[in-house]
Amino acid sequence: MQLESAAVGVWVNAGARNESRNVMGISHMLEHMAFKGTTTRTARDIAEQMESVGGFLNAYTSREQTAFHARVLKADIPLAIDILADILTAPTFESNELERERQVVLQEIGQAKDTPDDIIFDYLQEVSYPDQPMGWPILGDESTVSGFGREDLNAYMRENYRAGSMILIASGAVRHDHMVRLAEEKFGGLALGAPQAPEPARYIGGEMHIGGDLEQAHVAYAFPAVSNLDPDWHVAQVYVTALGGGMSSRLFQEAREKRGLCYSIYAFAQSSKDDGVVGVYTGTGESEVAEIGALVAGEMASLAETATEEEVARAKAQLKSSFLMGLERPSARAEMIAGHILNFDRVLSVQEMTEKLEAVDAAAVRRFGEKVMQTAAPSVATVGPAGKLERYGIFAGRFGLATARAAE
């Protein structure tokens, strides 16, 4: 198929975990402010020039990276690169724009707090990684966001937006030699070097319960797992898919289909360069929440003991199809390339990735599940009427030493 468009973007190897406590949320604020004017373009110029060619420009902030990306027709790639270079090398951070955008971000923080199935993951992250950058909210909080000044943004950018920590990625209707020339032309003036490595992540675990006048209790669990670089990364993906990744998964079948306890329940895996967790989220009723802890622990224990080749093959098929279908979209392919370079310093081939996935068998999933069941301090976060949830000590007792002794 002949492609007529391209996804282009700059991935910066710095995100929320690169912040200090007094500027928590500044990575996200900088992402917003990058679009608010440069030395040669106003905020309106940026929007109008991109939309005049039917293009799309956006950005996002994660704990480890900040990405600025565009989707354009192939003839407009030079314009997209020029705009990306402009906002990343010559932003003005004008005071009036900063004050306006500060209010936008404060509204975003308020909106997140009003969305329990969203904010619960901030609470889960905080209880998993307390008192460290890995546990801070990406958006920051009201006190830090209210205190950002223009020089804070400039200082953070000088430290982190350097040639050694920025990657220009393009996918779709692009030519490599053309992109190299554009990179040299538009980004040749970047300061050399890379930012200081962030503080290592330290999983701790514990509990956090936030009340609220809600109809549903939102419950999330997390357990220490593997990093992006761990050989068991693919095993973790298969494990969470079999546990709670679709309608045929164990959690969905038991919690929703058999018991009718909830509308939504799923398992997930999150990882960084040096750490990771697997977890479970569900939203359920005030009375039904009493059964959730035992159900989740029971299905995790069962999977660790009885994972079958059939369900592992089904999980692998889900993951493989999602991966391969995603590669048909230039934006998803660009995202994949960026992740590979930032984590492995190279791009993994499709064959290598599928072979690693296919190599996962039921024995590997059972072994991984047994390791998760040894967690001494799981993380538990709730929002809403979760007073009937079993006590943390009881839930934690289903894991760790109790599980190890039962297996002896």
Give the 3-state secondary structure of residue 199: coil
Judge contact between 217 and 285, C-beta under 8 A. Answer: yes
Cα separation, 314 vs 316, whole angstroms: 5
Max distance between CA atoms of the chain, in angstroms, equals 69
Judge contact between 164 and 193, C-beta under 8 A. Answer: yes
Q: How far is CA 13 from CA 100, 153, 198, 233, 270, in A?
A: 27, 16, 11, 21, 17
Residue 369 CB partners (closer than 8 Å, separation 6+): 239, 300, 303, 304, 305, 307
19, 31, 101, 126: which is the annotated catalytic residue? 31
Residues pairing with 219 in the sheet = 282, 382
142 part of the active site:
no
Rounded to a whole number of angstroms, the CA Rg of the chain reads: 23
Which residue type occupies 207?
E
Cα separation, 176 vs 332, whole angstroms: 18
Q: What is the dihedral of CA 75, 76, 81, 84, to 10 degrees?
A: -160
Tokens of 395: 């839930």
Task: List, by residue number, the catalytic residues.
Answer: 31
